[in-house]
Amino acid sequence: MPSEPLWTPLAWREGLQWVTTLPEDPVLRLAVYSALVLGGLTLLVMAQVLVVSELAARRERQRAAFVAEWHPRLVAWTLDAADPRQHSPIHQGERLWLLLLWARLHRQLRGPARERLNALFISLDLIGSVLAMLGSRRTHRRLLALACLGYLGDERFWSDVSPLLGSRNSMVALAAARALVAMDARRAMARLVPLMAQRRDLALPRLQALCRQAGPAALTPPLLEGLEGATPAQRERLAALLGCADPAQVAPWARRCLAEPGERETTLGAALACLGELSDPRDHALMSRSLLSESSRVRFAAIRALRRQARREDETLLLPHLEDRDWWVRQAAADALVGLPGITRERLEGLHDACSDRYGRDALKRALAEGGRP
C-alpha cells in the first residue's frame, strides 16, 4: 500500500499540533514560555528600532529642507532688511531649527548685519518661544535660548535671565552670565564677581573669557570690592581674574598683598603679574624681594614681572636663579638675562662659562639660541 505524501493537509495539521503541544515537565514548559516571550520582545524591539529610524530619517529630511529654504533668506536679510511677512509662516516645530540657524549666523557677523538680524528676530515673533525655552527641562534648549538673548543684548529680559545664574548646571549658569554681560556689563559684573568667588564648579578659563568680554571698566570696581572682603580661598580664585582688570586701579591692592605675609602663592603670583603689567619702576624693589620666596611659583612670577622693567643691574638678581631647583624658574631667569638692556653676547657667554650648574648652562644656552642676541 503506497505511503501517504508528507505534504498532505492532515500531515501538516498533525505536525503543527505536535509543535504547539506543551511538554508535561514544568521546567521545560517554563523554558518554552520564556523562549516565546523573548522572541516576542525581540520582534517588538526590532519593530521599534525600524519605526524610530524611519521617523528620525524623515525628521532629518524635513530639517535639511528647512535649512535649505531659510538659510539663504537669513543671509539675504543681513544684506537688506526685507519684510518677513511675505514668506510662509513658521510652524511651531520649526522654530527650534530657525533659532539654531539665527544664532549660528549671528555668531559670524558684526555691525549692521547683526542689527538687521535682531530686527528680523523681533519681526518673526520669536521672543515668546525663547522665553518659554528658558523654563525647559532640556539643557540644550535653555542654552540656545540664553545664547539668543545674549545676541539680542536687550536689558528688558534681565529679569528672565538673572534667576538662571543660580542654576546647579554650570553650563547654564555660564550661559546666563554671558547673556547678562551682553545686556549690561557693569551691572552684570557687580552680580557675577561674588558668584565667581563662591562657585568653584565654574571653570576659570570661562570666567576669564567672560571678564574680557565685560572689559576692565566693568570688572575692576566689583573685583576690588570682592578682594577686600574675601576669604583666602575666595581671594585666590578672584586673583586669577586680575589679568582682565585695569592694572593701574588694582596696583594698590597688589602692593599690599605682596607686603603682607600669609597670602597664598597663587594670589601672590597674580599680584606680581599685575605689577609687571603696570611696569612702574617704583615696584622694582617689591618685586625683587619676591625672588627670595620659598615658593617656586612666586619666584617664577617675580622674574616674569621684573623682565617687563628690566635694568642692566638686574643681572646680579637674576644670575643666582640659573641654579634654581625649579626648571621653570631657571628658564625664566635665562630668558630675562638674555633680554637685559645693554647686555652683550660676549657677557652672556661669559656667564654661561662661569655657571657651575649644568642645567643653568643649558637654560642660558637655549635662551641665547632663541633670543638671537648679536
Q: pLDDT tens-digit profile of 11-28?
A: 666 655 655 666 677 777
Alpha carbon distances (Å) from 176 to 144, 158, 272: 11, 10, 32
310's torsion region: left (phi>0), alpha (psi -120 to 50) or beta?
A: beta
* pLDDT on residue 98: 84
* pLDDT on residue 374: 45
* pLDDT on residue 176: 94
Residue burial 204-237, b: 16+ Cβ < 10 Å; e: rest: eeebeebbebbbbebbbbbbbebbeebeeebbbb
* pLDDT on residue 1: 44
* pLDDT on residue 20: 61
* pLDDT on residue 16: 56
What's the whole-model pTM score? 0.76
Q: Which residues contact 337 (CB under 8 A, 6 or more apart)?
A: 315, 318, 319, 322, 343, 348, 351, 364, 367
* pLDDT on residue 103: 86
Instruction: Extract the residue ranges of the chain whose pLDDT is less than 70.
Output: 1-23, 81-92, 371-374
Angle at 360 between CA 356 and CA 366, to 5 degrees: 135
